[in-house]
Amino acid sequence: MPARSDTTKTMASHQKLIRCIILFSLALGCSCFSSDASLHSLKKSAAAHRRTFDVATSPLWGATAGESNVATDTILPIENQSPTQKQRDLHPPTIDAISKGLLMRAQNLPNMHFRIFEDDENIEPWEVTLTCGKVAQQSVEEWQRVEQLTLEDHEDEMQVVAGRVMAVLTRLEELEEDLLKRCNKMSEEVIFDFGVLPKELQILQIGSEDAVKQMRDAAAAIDAACLFDEQLRYNRAKSLLAMFLHEIEGPGLRRNGVVFPCMDVDFLSEEIVDALLGGASDVSGVEKSVEDNVEKSVENVETTVEEKASPSQSLHPLTIDAIEEAFRFRAQNVTTSPLRLLDSNMEWFEVQYSIMKFADRFLEKYTKGSKKKSEEPTWTEEELQTIGGRIVGVLVRLDDLEWEWNHRVSTSTLGQPESPDMIPYNQWKSILGLHPDNVEQRCTKTLDMALLEEKDFARARAERMLALFLLCVEGPAMKASGNRSPDDSEVDFIQDSTQLNLMMPKVKE
C-alpha cells in the first residue's frame, strides 16, 4: 500500500498534534464521555508507518466546556515502559501553558474569548473552545521547538500536555470558582501562593443584587493583576492544574486502571497541598478519597445505570444520514465551509468550525422538520446530544477513519485475490464502502465524484466510518470512564462478522 505524499503527511501530522487538543468540548464523542481510551498504534505496509487514532472526550453537545473529566490520551502504562524510556516531567510545560492562557485572557485580545458572562449574547461556547485550543496548540508547538521534540518519538507526551492544558482552560470558570471558595478563609499573605488576589475575594464577598456585574468586576481585578504579575499567574496555574489532576482526571482513570505519565500532584509544597486538596496528593491518598466517595454513591450509580432506558429507536440511522450527507458536501470542496484541509494555507481550526456548524445545521434541520410536521420529539435531549457528538466525532477523524478502514481491508483476507474470503472488487463499494483499485490513495477527485453520484456507496461508507468510530474510539472511551452512552455504543447496523472483527480496536504496541 503506497505511503502518503509528503504534503499529506505534513497535514496529517499537524492535524494529529492538535486533534486531541481542540474538540472534546465540541462533542467529539457522546455527551457522557469522561475519560479516554487508548491510542491504537497501527502499521502501514512494510515501512511500518505509525498511525494513531486520537481519542478525545466531550462534554454536552453544544454546551459550555467543563463537563468532561479527562482530555488526554492513554499512553504506554508506566509499569510497562522499558528502563531506557526516561519519564519526562510534563508538569512544567503544562503549567507554563496554563499561565500563558491566563495572560492572554487578561490581554482581552480580539477574537480570543476565554469566558462568557450571562449577559454576553454575541459569544458562543465554541468560540471559547477554539480559543483554548489555539493556546494549547501554540504552547505545545513552542515546547516541541524548544525541547527539540519530534512527533514520532514524543507524540504521546505532547498529546497529554495539550489535552491537560485544554482541559484546564475550558474549565477555568468552574476551577477558579472552586479555588476562590477554598481560599476564602485564608489570610491575604497566604492566598498569593495559590494564585488568588485579595481584591477578587473582597469583590465576591460583598453582597450585590447584580451578580453579573460582580463577576465582571472580579474578573477585571484578576485580569489586571495577571497582566503584570507573572508569579501570580504561575501560582494560579499550578493550583488549577493540581485541582484538575487530583479531582477530575486522576480518580476516574485510576479507578479504571488507566495510567498516564505525571498523574500525581508533586509540584506543590505539602502545606499548599494540605490546604488546597486536603493533603491527598499521592496515589494512595487519591484512591482512598475516591474509594470513600464511590462507596457512598455506588448503589445510586448502579441503580441509575441499570434503570437507564434504552432509546425508543436506534440513534444510528440519523447519524449515518448526516455522515452520508457530509461525504457529498465535502466532495464539493466549498472553501467557505471546508470539511477537509484544501490547501497548505488553511488552518485546521477552520475545518473544525465547519464540521461543528455542519452538525449543528443538520440537527436543526431535522428538529425543525419534525416541528413542521407536528410530530412529537423522537429523541431525548441526551440522545440528540449523542447523535451530534458522533457526527462531529466521525467527521473530525474522517481522514484517519477512511485511511484505516482501507488499510485494514486491503491487508486482510477480504482484499487478497487468493483468499476464499476475498470480496470481488466490483462489490467493494456496496459491501465495504471502499473504492477499488486503490483509488482511495491515488485520486481524491475520483473518490469524491463516486460519493456524489452513488448513494449506495456513500451509505455503505458512512456506516463503516460510524462503526469504526464506535468500536475504536467511543466504546473504549466509555469503558475506561465507567460510563455508557444511551445505546451502549452498540454497532447493530452491520451484520458481517468478518467486517466487524476487522474493525475491532488494535492494541498499542
Per-residue pLDDT tens listing for the chain (509 residues)? 444 444 444 444 444 444 443 333 333 333 322 223 222 222 222 222 223 333 333 322 332 222 233 333 333 334 444 444 567 899 999 999 999 999 999 998 888 888 887 777 777 777 888 888 889 989 999 999 999 988 888 888 888 899 899 889 989 989 999 999 999 888 888 999 999 999 888 888 887 777 888 888 888 999 999 999 999 999 999 999 999 999 988 887 777 677 788 989 999 999 999 999 884 444 344 344 434 443 443 444 344 444 556 667 889 999 999 999 999 998 888 777 788 888 877 777 778 888 888 988 898 888 876 666 666 667 788 888 899 989 999 998 998 999 999 999 988 888 888 888 888 888 898 999 898 877 777 788 888 898 999 999 999 999 999 999 999 988 887 777 667 888 888 999 999 999 999 999 876 55
Count CA atoms closer than 13 A to 156's CA, side-chain side. Answer: 20
Residue 320 CB contacts under 8 Å (≥ 6 apart), including other chains: 459, 462, 463, 466, 493
CA distances from 408 to 127, 337, 341, 390, 445 (A): 37, 30, 24, 22, 22
Q: Is 314 left (phi over 0), alpha (psi -120 to 50) or beta?
A: beta
| Residue 330 backbone phi and psi in degrees, to 5 | -60, -35
pLDDT at 325: 94
Q: Which amino acid is at 345?
A: N
- Predicted confidence at residue 88, as pLDDT, reads 87
- Kindly report the backbone phi and psi dihedral angles of residue 346, in degrees, each rounded to the nearest multiple of 5, phi listed first: -85, 140
The pLDDT of residue 99 is: 95
Rounded to an integer, what distance in angstroms lies between the CA atom of residue 347 and that of residue 343? 9
Whole-angstrom Cα distance, residue 487 to residue 309?
9
The three grid cell numbers given for residue 442, joined into one nine-digit string = 491515488
User: H or E element: which one contains 50?
Assistant: strand 49-51
Question: Distance of alpha carbon 411 from its chain centroid, rounded?
Answer: 29
Q: Which residues contact 496 (CB under 8 A, 6 or more apart)?
A: 431
Of 425, 401, 437, 423, which Cα lies nearest the Cα of 496?
Answer: 423
Residue 50's pLDDT is: 26
Residue recorded with cell 481584591: 199
Please give the Cα distance from 230 to 49 (Å, whole number).
Answer: 43
In the three-class reduction of DSSP (H, G, I as helix; E, B as strand; rest coil), residue 149 is classed as coil
Name 459's Cβ contacts closer than 8 Å, sequence gap at least 6: 320, 324, 433
> For 148-197, where are the alpha helices, taking DSSP H only?
151-169, 172-183, 188-191
Q: What are phi and psi of 144, to 5 degrees?
A: -60, -40
- pLDDT number for residue 351: 83
The SS3 of residue 1 is coil
316-331 vs 381-396: helix axis angle to the nearest 10?
A: 40
How far is it, in rounded angstroms, from Cα 163 to Cα 261? 13
Only one residue has cell 484505516, namely 404
Could you tell me how many residues make up the chain?
A: 509
pLDDT at residue number 51: 32
Burial class (CB in 10 A: 0-12, 13-18, 19+), 369: exposed
